Structure 1
Amino acid sequence: MDENQGIIREAAAEDAPQLNVCMQKAYMAYEERMKGKRLPPMDVDYEEEIASYPVWVIEREGEIIGAVILTFDPSCTQVANIAVDPDYQGRGLGRKLLNFAEQKALDRGYVEMRLATHVLLTENAAFYTSMGWEEVGRDDSRVFFKKSLRIKGK
Protein backbone atom coordinates (compact mmCIF):
# COMPACT_ATOMS: atom_id res chain seq x y z
CA MET A 1 0.00 0.00 0.00
CA ASP A 2 1.18 3.52 -0.81
CA GLU A 3 2.47 4.94 2.47
CA ASN A 4 0.89 8.30 1.59
CA GLN A 5 -2.44 6.49 1.94
CA GLY A 6 -1.35 4.82 5.14
CA ILE A 7 -0.26 1.38 6.21
CA ILE A 8 -2.54 -1.54 7.08
CA ARG A 9 -1.51 -3.17 10.33
CA GLU A 10 -3.04 -5.31 13.02
CA ALA A 11 -4.81 -3.26 15.67
CA ALA A 12 -3.50 -3.12 19.24
CA ALA A 13 -5.46 -2.40 22.44
CA GLU A 14 -4.10 1.14 22.57
CA ASP A 15 -5.70 1.82 19.16
CA ALA A 16 -9.22 1.53 20.59
CA PRO A 17 -9.80 5.25 21.30
CA GLN A 18 -8.66 6.33 17.81
CA LEU A 19 -10.55 3.46 16.19
CA ASN A 20 -13.69 4.58 18.01
CA VAL A 21 -13.24 8.16 16.72
CA CYS A 22 -12.75 6.87 13.17
CA MET A 23 -15.87 4.70 13.33
CA GLN A 24 -17.97 7.46 14.89
CA LYS A 25 -16.97 9.84 12.08
CA ALA A 26 -17.61 7.22 9.41
CA TYR A 27 -21.08 6.30 10.63
CA MET A 28 -22.17 9.80 11.70
CA ALA A 29 -22.01 10.73 8.04
CA TYR A 30 -25.24 8.71 7.66
CA GLU A 31 -27.02 10.19 10.69
CA GLU A 32 -29.42 12.40 8.71
CA ARG A 33 -30.36 9.55 6.39
CA MET A 34 -30.94 7.31 9.40
CA LYS A 35 -33.30 9.90 10.91
CA GLY A 36 -31.36 10.03 14.18
CA LYS A 37 -31.00 6.26 14.58
CA ARG A 38 -27.55 5.05 15.44
CA LEU A 39 -25.97 2.31 13.40
CA PRO A 40 -24.70 -0.61 15.53
CA PRO A 41 -20.95 0.07 14.91
CA MET A 42 -21.39 3.40 16.72
CA ASP A 43 -22.08 1.60 20.00
CA VAL A 44 -19.30 -0.96 19.92
CA ASP A 45 -16.59 -1.19 22.57
CA TYR A 46 -13.58 -1.19 20.26
CA GLU A 47 -11.18 -2.25 23.00
CA GLU A 48 -13.29 -5.40 23.37
CA GLU A 49 -13.47 -5.83 19.57
CA ILE A 50 -9.68 -5.69 19.28
CA ALA A 51 -9.33 -8.23 22.09
CA SER A 52 -11.95 -10.58 20.62
CA TYR A 53 -11.61 -10.43 16.82
CA PRO A 54 -9.04 -9.94 14.11
CA VAL A 55 -8.98 -6.16 13.55
CA TRP A 56 -6.77 -4.30 11.11
CA VAL A 57 -6.44 -0.55 10.83
CA ILE A 58 -5.07 1.84 8.26
CA GLU A 59 -2.74 4.24 10.00
CA ARG A 60 -1.44 7.40 8.35
CA GLU A 61 0.98 9.70 10.17
CA GLY A 62 -0.09 8.28 13.53
CA GLU A 63 -3.81 8.59 12.84
CA ILE A 64 -6.22 5.69 12.30
CA ILE A 65 -8.19 6.47 9.14
CA GLY A 66 -9.93 3.16 8.46
CA ALA A 67 -10.39 -0.39 9.68
CA VAL A 68 -11.74 -3.81 8.90
CA ILE A 69 -12.97 -6.35 11.47
CA LEU A 70 -13.33 -9.98 10.44
CA THR A 71 -14.70 -13.15 11.94
CA PHE A 72 -13.72 -16.58 10.71
CA ASP A 73 -16.76 -18.85 10.91
CA PRO A 74 -16.57 -22.56 10.05
CA SER A 75 -17.99 -22.01 6.55
CA CYS A 76 -16.85 -18.50 5.60
CA THR A 77 -15.09 -15.31 6.56
CA GLN A 78 -17.44 -12.54 7.69
CA VAL A 79 -16.68 -8.86 7.31
CA ALA A 80 -18.13 -7.69 10.61
CA ASN A 81 -17.26 -4.03 10.00
CA ILE A 82 -15.36 -2.00 7.44
CA ALA A 83 -15.17 1.77 7.40
CA VAL A 84 -12.99 4.68 6.32
CA ASP A 85 -12.89 8.12 7.92
CA PRO A 86 -14.96 10.42 5.66
CA ASP A 87 -12.00 12.82 5.38
CA TYR A 88 -10.13 10.03 3.53
CA GLN A 89 -12.92 8.46 1.47
CA GLY A 90 -12.69 8.41 -2.30
CA ARG A 91 -8.98 7.49 -2.26
CA GLY A 92 -9.34 3.74 -2.70
CA LEU A 93 -8.86 2.89 0.97
CA GLY A 94 -12.10 0.92 1.26
CA ARG A 95 -11.08 -1.09 -1.82
CA LYS A 96 -7.64 -1.73 -0.31
CA LEU A 97 -9.16 -2.84 3.01
CA LEU A 98 -11.60 -5.17 1.28
CA ASN A 99 -8.85 -6.66 -0.91
CA PHE A 100 -6.73 -7.08 2.23
CA ALA A 101 -9.61 -8.87 3.97
CA GLU A 102 -10.06 -11.18 0.97
CA GLN A 103 -6.37 -12.07 1.10
CA LYS A 104 -6.60 -12.79 4.84
CA ALA A 105 -9.53 -15.13 4.13
CA LEU A 106 -7.61 -16.90 1.36
CA ASP A 107 -4.53 -17.18 3.62
CA ARG A 108 -6.70 -19.12 6.08
CA GLY A 109 -8.11 -21.38 3.37
CA TYR A 110 -11.55 -19.79 3.01
CA VAL A 111 -13.24 -19.64 -0.39
CA GLU A 112 -16.28 -17.57 0.61
CA MET A 113 -16.82 -14.26 2.35
CA ARG A 114 -20.03 -12.65 3.58
CA LEU A 115 -21.06 -9.22 4.80
CA ALA A 116 -24.14 -7.09 5.40
CA THR A 117 -24.83 -3.39 5.04
CA HIS A 118 -27.79 -1.24 5.98
CA VAL A 119 -30.47 -0.94 3.27
CA LEU A 120 -30.25 2.86 3.39
CA LEU A 121 -26.51 2.84 2.67
CA THR A 122 -27.07 2.35 -1.04
CA GLU A 123 -23.60 3.54 -2.01
CA ASN A 124 -22.13 0.70 0.07
CA ALA A 125 -24.24 -1.84 -1.80
CA ALA A 126 -23.09 -0.37 -5.13
CA PHE A 127 -19.46 -0.47 -3.96
CA TYR A 128 -19.65 -4.12 -2.90
CA THR A 129 -21.29 -5.06 -6.20
CA SER A 130 -18.49 -3.26 -8.08
CA MET A 131 -15.99 -5.36 -6.09
CA GLY A 132 -17.56 -8.62 -7.28
CA TRP A 133 -19.88 -9.26 -4.34
CA GLU A 134 -23.30 -10.76 -5.01
CA GLU A 135 -26.46 -9.73 -3.17
CA VAL A 136 -27.98 -12.84 -1.59
CA GLY A 137 -30.83 -11.45 0.49
CA ARG A 138 -32.47 -8.64 2.41
CA ASP A 139 -34.44 -8.08 5.55
CA ASP A 140 -36.04 -4.92 6.94
CA SER A 141 -32.73 -3.22 7.63
CA ARG A 142 -29.89 -5.12 5.94
CA VAL A 143 -28.66 -6.20 2.53
CA PHE A 144 -26.62 -9.42 2.61
CA PHE A 145 -23.73 -10.12 0.25
CA LYS A 146 -21.36 -12.98 -0.46
CA LYS A 147 -18.28 -13.37 -2.57
CA SER A 148 -16.63 -16.53 -3.79
CA LEU A 149 -12.87 -16.26 -3.57
CA ARG A 150 -10.53 -17.76 -6.11
CA ILE A 151 -7.30 -19.29 -4.97
CA LYS A 152 -4.48 -18.06 -7.20
CA GLY A 153 -3.49 -20.61 -9.81
CA LYS A 154 -6.84 -22.41 -9.66
Structure 2
Amino acid sequence: MYDAYSQFKEKLGGQDLPPMLVDYEEEIRSYPVWVACAGEHLVGGLILVFSETYTTIANVAVHPDFQGHGLGRGLIEFAQKQAELRGHNEIRLVTHSGMSENITLYSHLGWKEYERSENKVFMTKLL
Protein backbone atom coordinates (compact mmCIF):
# COMPACT_ATOMS: atom_id res chain seq x y z
CA MET A 1 0.00 0.00 0.00
CA TYR A 2 2.83 2.38 0.80
CA ASP A 3 4.15 2.24 -2.79
CA ALA A 4 0.75 3.29 -4.11
CA TYR A 5 0.99 6.57 -2.21
CA SER A 6 4.67 7.29 -2.88
CA GLN A 7 3.93 9.71 -5.73
CA PHE A 8 1.69 11.76 -3.45
CA LYS A 9 4.16 11.91 -0.59
CA GLU A 10 6.51 14.12 -2.60
CA LYS A 11 3.70 16.04 -4.32
CA LEU A 12 2.08 17.00 -1.01
CA GLY A 13 5.38 18.09 0.52
CA GLY A 14 5.00 16.68 3.99
CA GLN A 15 1.30 17.46 4.38
CA ASP A 16 -0.70 14.98 6.39
CA LEU A 17 -1.24 11.94 4.21
CA PRO A 18 -3.30 9.55 6.34
CA PRO A 19 -2.71 6.40 4.25
CA MET A 20 1.02 6.74 4.97
CA LEU A 21 0.36 6.92 8.72
CA VAL A 22 -1.97 3.94 9.00
CA ASP A 23 -1.03 0.83 10.94
CA TYR A 24 -1.92 -1.63 8.17
CA GLU A 25 -1.32 -4.66 10.36
CA GLU A 26 -4.03 -3.39 12.70
CA GLU A 27 -6.40 -2.55 9.82
CA ILE A 28 -5.93 -6.00 8.31
CA ARG A 29 -6.76 -7.58 11.67
CA SER A 30 -9.79 -5.34 12.18
CA TYR A 31 -11.50 -5.02 8.79
CA PRO A 32 -12.21 -7.05 5.65
CA VAL A 33 -9.36 -6.80 3.14
CA TRP A 34 -9.13 -7.84 -0.50
CA VAL A 35 -5.97 -7.87 -2.59
CA ALA A 36 -5.17 -7.92 -6.29
CA CYS A 37 -2.14 -9.89 -7.43
CA ALA A 38 -0.18 -10.15 -10.66
CA GLY A 39 1.57 -13.47 -10.42
CA GLU A 40 3.36 -13.51 -7.07
CA HIS A 41 3.20 -9.72 -6.65
CA LEU A 42 0.66 -7.76 -4.62
CA VAL A 43 -0.44 -4.90 -6.87
CA GLY A 44 -3.60 -3.57 -5.25
CA GLY A 45 -5.61 -3.61 -2.09
CA LEU A 46 -8.98 -2.68 -0.68
CA ILE A 47 -10.04 -2.25 2.95
CA LEU A 48 -13.73 -1.78 3.76
CA VAL A 49 -15.54 -0.80 6.92
CA PHE A 50 -19.21 -1.75 7.23
CA SER A 51 -21.51 0.30 9.42
CA GLU A 52 -25.19 -0.43 9.97
CA THR A 53 -26.34 1.80 7.11
CA TYR A 54 -23.42 2.37 4.73
CA THR A 55 -20.03 1.04 3.64
CA THR A 56 -16.80 3.03 3.83
CA ILE A 57 -13.76 2.49 1.64
CA ALA A 58 -11.06 2.86 4.27
CA ASN A 59 -8.34 2.37 1.69
CA VAL A 60 -8.03 1.55 -1.97
CA ALA A 61 -4.53 1.43 -3.39
CA VAL A 62 -2.83 0.34 -6.60
CA HIS A 63 0.92 -0.08 -7.09
CA PRO A 64 2.26 2.71 -9.37
CA ASP A 65 3.29 0.20 -12.07
CA PHE A 66 -0.34 -0.90 -12.39
CA GLN A 67 -2.10 2.47 -12.16
CA GLY A 68 -3.99 3.75 -15.17
CA HIS A 69 -5.14 0.31 -16.34
CA GLY A 70 -8.52 0.08 -14.61
CA LEU A 71 -7.47 -1.85 -11.50
CA GLY A 72 -8.44 0.98 -9.14
CA ARG A 73 -11.80 1.34 -10.87
CA GLY A 74 -12.29 -2.42 -10.56
CA LEU A 75 -11.54 -2.35 -6.84
CA ILE A 76 -13.99 0.52 -6.34
CA GLU A 77 -16.69 -1.32 -8.29
CA PHE A 78 -16.00 -4.43 -6.19
CA ALA A 79 -16.40 -2.32 -3.04
CA GLN A 80 -19.75 -1.07 -4.30
CA LYS A 81 -20.92 -4.64 -4.91
CA GLN A 82 -19.85 -5.61 -1.38
CA ALA A 83 -21.91 -2.70 -0.04
CA GLU A 84 -24.93 -3.79 -2.04
CA LEU A 85 -24.56 -7.39 -0.79
CA ARG A 86 -24.93 -6.00 2.74
CA GLY A 87 -28.07 -4.11 1.80
CA HIS A 88 -26.36 -0.71 1.80
CA ASN A 89 -27.40 1.93 -0.70
CA GLU A 90 -24.55 4.32 0.13
CA ILE A 91 -20.78 4.05 0.04
CA ARG A 92 -18.34 6.65 1.38
CA LEU A 93 -14.66 7.51 1.32
CA VAL A 94 -12.26 10.23 2.40
CA THR A 95 -9.39 11.44 0.25
CA HIS A 96 -6.78 14.18 0.49
CA SER A 97 -7.56 17.54 -1.14
CA GLY A 98 -4.13 17.45 -2.82
CA MET A 99 -4.95 14.19 -4.58
CA SER A 100 -6.78 15.92 -7.41
CA GLU A 101 -6.36 12.93 -9.75
CA ASN A 102 -8.26 10.74 -7.31
CA ILE A 103 -11.00 13.33 -6.77
CA THR A 104 -11.42 13.59 -10.55
CA LEU A 105 -11.63 9.79 -10.88
CA TYR A 106 -14.18 9.46 -8.09
CA SER A 107 -16.28 12.29 -9.54
CA HIS A 108 -16.16 10.62 -12.96
CA LEU A 109 -17.41 7.39 -11.33
CA GLY A 110 -20.43 9.19 -9.84
CA TRP A 111 -19.13 10.14 -6.39
CA LYS A 112 -20.21 13.46 -4.86
CA GLU A 113 -18.31 15.60 -2.42
CA TYR A 114 -20.34 16.31 0.70
CA GLU A 115 -17.83 17.92 3.06
CA ARG A 116 -14.30 19.30 3.39
CA SER A 117 -12.33 19.58 6.58
CA GLU A 118 -8.76 20.82 6.57
CA ASN A 119 -7.11 18.72 3.84
CA LYS A 120 -9.76 15.98 3.74
CA VAL A 121 -12.44 15.62 1.08
CA PHE A 122 -15.43 13.49 2.10
CA MET A 123 -17.24 11.82 -0.77
CA THR A 124 -20.31 9.62 -1.11
CA LYS A 125 -22.07 7.63 -3.80
CA LEU A 126 -25.62 6.38 -3.73
CA LEU A 127 -25.94 2.86 -5.09
Q: TM class, shorter-chain normalised?
A: over 0.9
* 1:15 aligned partner: none
Structure 1 letter corresponding to 2:10: E
Hey, what does 2:3 align to over in structure 1? 25
Aligned residue-pair number? 127
What does 1:11-22 align with in structure 2 at a 5 Å threshold?
none
| Distance in 1 separating the partners of 2:112 and 2:10 | 28
2:66 aligned partner = 88
Gaps of 5+ in 1: 1-22, 150-154
Note the aligned Cα RMSD (angstroms).
1.1
- For residues 145 and 53 of structure 1, do their structure 2 counterparts lie closer, same or farther at Cα, with a shift above 3 Å needed? same
Match for residue 85 of structure 2 among 107, 110, 114: 107
| Structure 2 segments unaligned to the other structure (5+ residues) | none
* TM-score with structure 2 setting the length: 0.94
Whose strand fraction is larger, Structure 1's or Structure 2's? 2
For 2:97 and 2:25, how far apart are their aligned partners in 1?
28
Deviation at 1:72, TM superposition (A): 0.4
In structure 2, what is the equivalent of residue 66 of structure 1? Answer: 44
Structure number with bigger Rg = 1
Distance 1:45 1:117 in 2: 17
CA distance in 1, matches of 2:58, 2:121: 13
Alignment match of 2:101 (pick from 120, 123, 129): 123
Identity %: 48
